[in-house]
């Protein structure tokens, strides 16, 4: 029978007696060591998905702590952000019937004045571009539904989260309308569609030869500043700047690698150029560049204006390129296929490359590389786009494995990853969510917390929160 434990004493089995624990008698046996504590549970790997906060937990946290809540040891987010994460983790996806090969290259939601039988009405339009060179306009509001020559396209649910099957019946998606023929046709595939800013009407008065030059030399990509006065063209020999007010073209950057992606930062002073060789070059458009006037010229002169540079201009451009490469160039593992600048802070931008890498950069910390990475994206050779929600909380992209993924921009956590349709999404658009401009309620906004357009060769899709 083991001896009884006495408070303040320990038992020595060799001497068969108790000794006080405050001091040790010389020659006494050493006190047996205590058993080691049980090992702590291993921490989850960095890629493990963090458990979502329940709705009751979110409401309790909002009432107790207000806007800022710490949900884990390393991650801090507001109540609004947690709600956005929860809504993004359970989306619903619809496909519009009869839209094959109309939206596999470009998507852009526009606000426009539409001529209706009852007069001009403001409405929303969705512009789509395809590899066959066609551009189509789809009416999203009620202003276009009464036209006789318009075709109606009906949505069909293709992916519904578990337990949300009734939502597809109780909250149907709105129909869309478009003309039987394409709005415009080009001789080659559409690379991108960019909407102009508030001065779009100024562009309409631009010399016709400048517009033809824009179409002729728009090879890979293009982007415009916020006021719609300048357009940057990405070609196989560099980046050119087209001023729509003066009708002049000038070189911004000369290089031997194709420019596959471009993005103006929010201020409009810097444009980011993503190259096939994996470089991202920030260029200040306010710097002096070699002007190549195209106004009041013939189409043949406009076509030849950009590439026909003198040796002095070429050398100057190469010197500028070498200087940029040594101090300001950001490197990615492979060809840069998408760039997205954040409007909340013009120093931050997202970039993706064709090896599946997606990273967040800070223009002030170029030498330190990326400040955040987003794991899980699958890509090897496709020009797959990135898109962010209007609040710049979420990042979305489609992979070659036909999986749509959504990440938290702040933490890099993957919130959603599902194959919602057996197709590769090559065009994305995440517009602002608001009521229809013509004053009526819109099913695209009224019943859903968020919504994004997705395009593939199989058709036009719409993903929204439940």
Q: Which residues of 187-217 are buried (b: 16+ CB within 10 A; e: fewer)?
A: eeebbbbbebeeeeeebeebbebbbbbbebb
> Measured over all CA atoms, what is the biggest interatomic distance in the chain, rounded to whole angstroms?
113
Q: Between 276 and 49, where is the model more confident?
A: 276
Of 331, 345, 448, 454, the C-alpha closest to 396 is 454
Query: Tens of pLDDT along 360-389?
Result: 999 998 888 999 999 999 999 898 999 999
CA distances from 324 to 87, 205, 234, 237, 263 (A): 42, 35, 17, 16, 17
Tell me whether strands 387-388 and 394-398 are parallel, antiparallel or unpaired: antiparallel
Q: Between 79 and 394, where is the model more confident?
A: 394
Structure tokens, 442 = 């819109």
Using the predicted structure, report yes or no on whether residue 50 has a pLDDT greater than 80.
Answer: no
Highest averaged pLDDT of the listed ranges 71-80, 249-258, 415-424: 415-424
Query: Tens of pLDDT along 117-126?
Result: 777 877 888 9
Give the phi and the psi of residue 157 in degrees, each rounded to 5.
-65, 135
DSSP β-bridge partners for residue 69: 77
At 300, is the pLDDT very low, low, confident or very high (cuts 50, 70, 90)?
very low
CB atoms within 10 A of CB 428: 23
Element (H, E) at 302: helix 299-305
Alpha-carbon gap, residue 53 to 70, rounded angstroms:
11
For 43, residues 6+ apart whose C-beta sits below 8 A from its C-beta are none
CB 232 within 8 A of CB 285: yes
What pLDDT is recorded for position 227? Answer: 74
CB atoms within 10 A of CB 120: 10
* Terminal alpha carbon distance of the chain: 67
The 8 Å CB, 24+ separation contacts for 228-232 are 228/196, 228/197, 228/198, 228/199, 228/200, 228/202, 228/203, 229/197, 229/199, 229/202, 230/268, 230/285, 232/262, 232/264, 232/271, 232/273, 232/285
Alpha-carbon gap, residue 102 to 99, rounded angstroms:
6
Using the predicted structure, report yes or no on whether residue 261 has a pLDDT greater than 80.
Answer: yes
Q: Residue 52 has what DSSP assignment?
A: P
Give the phi and the psi of residue 453 in degrees, each rounded to 5.
-90, 140
What pLDDT is recorded for position 447? Answer: 66
Mean pLDDT value across residues 322-345: 82
Please give the mean pLDDT across all residues of the chain.
Answer: 76
Of 227, 168, 242, the C-alpha closest to 197 is 227
Query: Tens of pLDDT along 130-146?
Result: 999 999 999 886 656 55
- Residue 22 burial (C-beta neighbours within 10 Å; 0-12, 13-18, 19+): exposed
What pLDDT is recorded for position 387? Answer: 97
As a whole-number percent, the residues of the chain with pLDDT over 90 amount to 36
Alpha-carbon gap, residue 10 to 20, rounded angstroms:
6
At 114, is the pLDDT very low, low, confident or very high (cuts 50, 70, 90)?
confident
Using the predicted structure, report yes or no on whether residue 64 has a pLDDT greater than 50.
Answer: no
Query: Tens of pLDDT along 403-451?
Result: 999 999 999 999 999 999 999 999 999 998 654 444 444 556 556 789 9
Using the predicted structure, report yes or no on whether residue 352 has a pLDDT greater than 80.
Answer: yes
What pLDDT is recorded for position 123? Answer: 81
Give this prediction's pTM. 0.74
């Amino acid at each position: 029978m083991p001896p009884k434990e006495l408070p303040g004493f320990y038992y020595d089995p060799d001497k068969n007696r108790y000794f006080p624990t405050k001091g040790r008698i010389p020659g006494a046996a050493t006190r047996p060591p205590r058993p080691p504590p049980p090992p702590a549970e291993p921490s989850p790997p960095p890629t493990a998905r963090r458990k979502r906060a329940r709705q009751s937990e979110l409401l309790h946290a909002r009432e107790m702590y207000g806007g800022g809540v710490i949900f884990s040891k390393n991650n801090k987010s507001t109540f609004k952000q947690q709600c956005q994460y929860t809504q993004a983790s359970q989306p619903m996806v619809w496909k519009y019937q009869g839209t094959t090969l109309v939206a596999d290259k470009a998507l852009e939601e526009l606000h426009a004045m539409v001529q209706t039988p009852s007069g001009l009405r403001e409405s929303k339009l969705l512009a789509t571009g395809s590899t066959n060179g066609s551009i189509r306009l789809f009416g999203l509001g009620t202003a276009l539904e009464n036209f006789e020559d318009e075709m109606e396209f009906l949505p069909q649910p293709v992916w519904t989260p578990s337990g949300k099957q009734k939502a597809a019946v109780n909250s149907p998606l709105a129909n869309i309308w478009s003309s039987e023929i394409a709005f415009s046709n080009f001789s080659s595939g559409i690379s991108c569609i960019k909407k102009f800013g508030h001065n779009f009407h100024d562009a309409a008065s631009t010399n016709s030869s400048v517009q033809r030059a824009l179409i002729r030399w728009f090879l890979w990509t293009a982007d415009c500043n916020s006021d719609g006065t300048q357009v940057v063209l990405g070609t196989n020999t560099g980046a050119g700047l087209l001023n729509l007010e003066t009708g002049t073209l000038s070189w911004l950057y000369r290089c031997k690698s194709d420019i596959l992606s471009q993005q103006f930062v929010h201020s409009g002073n810097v444009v980011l150029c993503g190259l096939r060789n994996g470089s991202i070059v920030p260029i200040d458009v306010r710097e002096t560049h070699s002007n190549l006037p195209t106004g009041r010229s013939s189409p043949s002169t406009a076509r030849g204006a950009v590439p026909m540079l003198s040796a002095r201009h070429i050398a100057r451009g190469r010197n500028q390129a070498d200087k940029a490469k040594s101090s300001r160039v950001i490197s990615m593992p492979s060809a840069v296929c998408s760039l997205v600048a954040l409007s909340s802070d013009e120093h931050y931008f997202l970039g993706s490359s064709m090896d599946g890498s997606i990273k967040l950069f800070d223009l002030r910390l170029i030498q330190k590389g990326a400040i955040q990475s987003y794991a899980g994206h699958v890509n090897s050779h496709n020009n797959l786009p990135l898109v962010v929600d209007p609040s710049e909380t979420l990042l979305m992209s489609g992979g070659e494995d036909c999986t749509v993924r959504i990440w938290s921009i702040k933490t890099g956590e993957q919130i959603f990853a599902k194959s919602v349709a057996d197709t590769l999404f090559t065009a994305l658009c995440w517009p602002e969510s608001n009521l229809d401009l013509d004053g009526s309620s819109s099913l695209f906004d009224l019943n859903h917390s968020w919504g994004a357009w997705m395009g593939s060769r199989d058709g036009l899709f719409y993903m929204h929160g439940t």
